[in-house]
Amino acid sequence: MANSITGINDDILAQSVLEGYTTAIAPLTAFTTDFSSEAARRGEKVSIMRDNTAIDAALDKTSHGAYTVQDADSDSIELTLGQPKYVSWGLDDVEIASSSILTMEKFGRRKGNLLAKTVLQDIWSEVTAANFGAASFTGLASTFDEDDVADVAEDCDGADWGDDRYLILSPSYIAALRKAGAIKDTSGYGYNAIQTGDIPMLHGFKILMSNAVPANGENLVGFATDGNGIASAFRYLAPQQGHKYNRAEALVGEGGITLGLRDWYSEDSGVRKNVIETVYAYETGIGTGVKRLVSA
């Protein structure tokens, strides 16, 4: 019976971590991101396709002349999988037997959120003036409204962005938009921002909130992206052959988001130990693919 309870509790914790991670990592899907359940090792390379901003000019067709076939408007970024990030916990026999399912689910989601926030802040450390140029908006949250979003959209139009646009904002700037009269009064358009807290499509942007936006030493509070600013890749980190884990497997969540689980029992301490991890890589993509928003 004890082994059965242990197995059930382990599954609850692992799935809760995956759910918390998947929810918190969601804003990363606004970028060129490759999730896969394929096992890999640190140092392996992953190639990701991306769109180019440099498009060959249209050509004149001369009479009886041959067509000049231009290159496709894309290339690839090669990423090297780097240092894994992980969360872990250890539960002794008494804790495993006595923990309620609800408590374990909450604990797992918090662990998953923490892992996702750590990964996001690492990848978004690339969102700097050096990589993406001057800020598209500068100002405090108290001054931010839908007209500022329109100005950012104009900046994106000037960079020839397509329709797939995202605006990722820290919580105080999302709160400022929630208070804007034009956004509160959207019930006639099928939205109710006051009830749900969700901001509808705004000036062509899908609006996403994240408390993982790092200041980066430049007062960063958010950014717009068309998906080409940063490329990233994620894999399940496979253990070496000959391991003695009880379980060493991939956990696959919504959208193919994958984490790795390692589970073992320490007989000298009577503690069941778990690690959930990801190995990933990222690289700055196209310099016009991100428009920064800063507070000062």
pLDDT at 2: 41
pLDDT at 217: 97
Q: Which of 150, 144, 192 is nearest to 169 (CA)?
A: 144
Residues 6+ apart with CB under 8 A from 116: 20, 21, 22, 23, 24, 25, 212
- CA 154 to CA 1: how far, in whole Å? 63
Alpha helices in 76-133 (DSSP H): 93-98, 101-123, 129-132
What is the identity of the amino acid at 130? A
Alpha-carbon torsion angle 143, 144, 146, 151, nearest 10:
100
- CA separation for the pair 50, 34 (Å, rounded): 11
Dihedral angle sign, alpha carbons of residues 196, 29, 212, 146: negative
pLDDT at 7: 58
> Structure tokens of 67?
């067509």
| Domain boundaries of the chain, sorted by first residue | 2-49+75-294
How is residue 244 written in tokens? 């003695």
What is the predicted pLDDT for the residue at 132?
97
pLDDT per residue as tens digits for the range 64-93: 778 776 654 556 788 889 889 999 988 887
Which residues of the chain are under the pLDDT cut of 70?
A: 1-9, 50-57, 69-75, 186-194
Rounded CA separation 161/76 (Å): 19
pLDDT value at residue 119: 96
Element (H, E) at 3: helix 2-25
What are the residues whose beta carbons fall under 8 Å from the beta carbon of 251, sequence distance 6 or more?
A: 14, 15, 17, 18, 258, 259, 260, 261, 276
Residue 273 pairs in a beta bridge with 90, 264
**CA-based nearest residue to 201, from 189, 211, 210:** 189
Give the pTM.
Answer: 0.83
* Cβ atoms 12, 225 nearer than 8 A: no
User: Which value, to the nearest 10 degrees, does the dihedral of the CA atoms of residues 242, 237, 270, 9 take?
Assistant: -120
Which pLDDT score, from 0 to 100, does residue 5 have? 47
pLDDT tens per residue, range 149-199? 999 999 999 999 999 999 999 999 999 998 888 787 765 556 666 677 778
As a whole number of angstroms, the distance between CA 100 and CA 96 comes to: 9
Backbone angles phi, psi at 57, to 5 degrees: -70, 150
| Residue linked to tokens 């921002």 | 193
What local confidence, expressed as pLDDT, does residue 183 receive?
Answer: 80
Architecture of 2-49+75-294 per CATH? Alpha-Beta Complex (3.90)
